[in-house]
Structure 1
Amino acid sequence: MKYCKKCDIKILDELEYCPLCRSALCPIKELDPLDAARIRLLKEDEKRLDAREEELRGKREEFEAACGQRDREIQAIRENAADHRVGTKEARKQIKQSRNRFRQQIREGRLTTKGQLRLAEHKLERRRERREGGLLAYPNVVIRQKKYAIVLRALVFAALLVSSLSLLIDHYFNHAFSWSLTVLESLLFMAWMLYLFYKDLGYMRRIFGGVFGGLVCFFFIDLQYGLFQWSFSYSYPIAVLLIELSLLILMLVNRRNWESYLIVQILMLPLGFLSMVFYWLGLAEEELLSEIALLFPILVFLGTLLLGGRRALAELRRRFHI
């Protein structure tokens, strides 16, 4: 048993370096009763693994011997049939009986198949890897999440620093906030995207969150420079089309579960209609782009229903409890 000064943990396995920090381990002369019991359990587990490995080796040899005996019997029957000692029908009958006897041994559990042996050996190998890596002696500490958290905090601090300097320089030279607000909005959008990809929110939430975060950012930039309405005329319809294209790609990739995207397609219908509402209210100027943003979700949804058939209807009934 050894001890890591840096991590302040005890290693029950016979390792030279700490698996967490890779520093050299120090030996422990006096053992606690609890640690001694743990070491005893680990040694017993090692003995069980060795016994299981020997058992699997014996079963593999037994299976190979049974296969060899079956092949020799079949070869002898075929040689007798070739020498006309046994008729063709009788030879086929004997070969079938030999194979049935072999299958009967497998069904009764007297023989273990190759697939079962490979599965058992794989489990044994995985257990040995865990045993040698020390995962049975101490908990598995996830370091990757801590690294991601540190990187995220560093990026947020850098964004705050850059935005503060931008506001200060813009106000000092122009006595107003013009381009610095654009920098601030862009950095906020980048921080939002980092948050979406850091949290385990699922790809659909990331897509919607990223697109609508970009829309909010574009709206404030448009509002800052005089509200020329390009955020309603171009950004919103293009965002709707991008989400629809993402849905089509996801449905093609996840072909076995494509019907799960029907709810998202239904959600896209009012969002597409909203582009025409912006045009009717005078906020958007591009009629063609707004109409495309309205029609494309409708066509995709109807096409999914027609091509999906009963499977799509069953998904809608299940979702809406019809």
Structure 2
Amino acid sequence: MESIMTKCMKCGVYIADNTDKCPLCQQVVAPVELSSDNHQGTEWVFEQHNDVPDKCVNDTDSAAKRADSTASHDNGTRYPDVKGASRKYRLLENIILFLSIVGQIVLTTVDYMTDNEINWSFIVLLVVIYANVTLRLAIVGRNGYIFKIVSTFVFTVLFLEGIDLLTGASGWALTFVFPSAILAMVLATIILMIVNIRNWQSYMMMQLFLVLMSVIAMILVAVKIIWFPYLAMGAMGASLFLFLGTLIIGDKRARTELKRRFHI
């Protein structure tokens, strides 16, 4: 007998409830069809309950599913301890944040007392903010790797734009870095789709994000903020062709993914 469930590709667990995200890592889950033969006694599924948030249960033993959930959660043998790594580095994050604040105060004081033409302490401030945000979101954060890649892209562009503004506002960050970052993201998306070819459709939202960023780049070209248009045009073409190619070649599977993401 076959049943339709969802599976988290990151944690490797099946979820019995009608939910879009894994209760462990919050990553979007994918629908799968299971028969009683191919997961009997070996796979574990999650069910959400109003009284107890997370229940780890065996699909073949409904009578003992709640009695075993607490013990399995404690000893970590039933499903991955996703929060363990975050707890391990939490203290290190706070120490780095504290040292960053103290160091920034000292450097700002020195910058003020020396009275330079360029307030270099603001550049250091941007570096400190970028380093702490990258550490918390992209390295030790609990979000999926797609979110980490996108957030790193956004903060890197913002960081370099801030450096550009503080060093004369010549526009090199938006003109060269922004479209180059889009092209790099397009290449990274293609590589990720090849590596994770069984779940290639999960990268369609990243493709839409790149198309949106390319449209913004072309708008900046139209208003003369980006004064070298060819990189922006290349980024627009690459991101648009990648999305259209995935949508057309992926056919029904690609359309189903978009409908699921946008709840159409």
TM range (shorter): 0.5 to 0.7
Superimposed CA distance per residue, residues 97-129 of structure 1 (whole angstroms, 9 cap, x where no aligned partner):
xxxxxxxxxxxxxxxxxxx9xxxxxxxxxxxxx
Structure 1 distance, partners of 2:157, 2:223, is 18
Whether 2:77 is the aligned partner of 1:163: answer: no
State the match for 2:169 in structure 1.
227
Instruction: Measure the CA separation in 2 of the matches of 1:167 and 1:319.
Output: 46
TM-score (norm 2): 0.64
Equivalent residue runs for 1:115-264 within 5 Å? 145-174=86-115, 178-196=119-137, 197-264=139-206
CA RMSD of aligned residues (A): 3.0
Structure 1 residues 307 and 155, CA, compared in 2 at 3 Å: closer, same or farther? same
Distance 2:177 2:192 in 1: 22
Matches within 5 A, 1:99-114: none
Give distance in 2, aligned partners of 1:145 and 1:298. 36
2:218 paired residue among 249, 252, 276: 276
Inter-partner Cα distance in structure 2 for 1:317 and 1:140? 39
Point out where structure 2 has 5 or more consecutive residues left out of the alignment. Answer: 1-39, 41-70, 77-82
Whole-angstrom distance in 2 between the partners of 1:208 and 1:219: 17
Alignment of 1:72-87 (within 5 A): none
Could you tell me which amino acid in structure 1 is paired with residue 227 of structure 2?
E
Residue of structure 2 equivalent to 1:4: none
Equivalent position of 1:312 in the other structure: 254
In 1, the alpha carbon distance for the partners of 2:205 and 2:85 equals 34
Q: Is the 8 A contact 1:170 1:176 kept in 2?
A: no
1:318/1:181 CA distance change after superposition, 3 Å: closer
Instruction: Give CA deviations for 1:71-122 in whole Å, capped at 9, x if unaligned.
Output: xxxxxxxxxxxxxxxxxxxxxxxxxxxxxxxxxxxxxxxxxxxxx9xxxxxx
TM-score, length-scaled by structure 1? 0.53
Amino acid in structure 1 at the alignment position of 2:257:
E
After TM superposition, give the deviation of residue 174 of structure 1 in Å. Answer: 2.4
Q: Secondary structure at the match of 2:203?
A: helix
Query: Secondary structure of 1:268's partner?
Result: helix
- Aligned equivalent of 2:227: 285
Q: Using the TM superposition, give the Cα deviation of residue 296 of structure 1 relative to its aligned residue in structure 2, in angstroms.
A: 0.7
Q: Which amino acid aligns with 1:183?
A: V
2:251 is the counterpart of 1:301: no
**Rg larger for:** 1
Structure richer in helix, relative to its length: 1
Q: Deviations over 1:193-243 (max 9, x none)?
A: 011122201111111111111111112111112210111101211121122
- Give the superposition deviation at 1:159: 1.4
2: distance between equivalents of 1:270 and 1:145?
A: 32
Mapped contact 1:241–1:293 kept (Cα < 8 A): yes
Per-residue CA shift, 1:224-268, capped at 9, x if unaligned? 122101111012111211222221122112111111222321232
Q: Which residue of 2 aligns with 1:27?
A: none
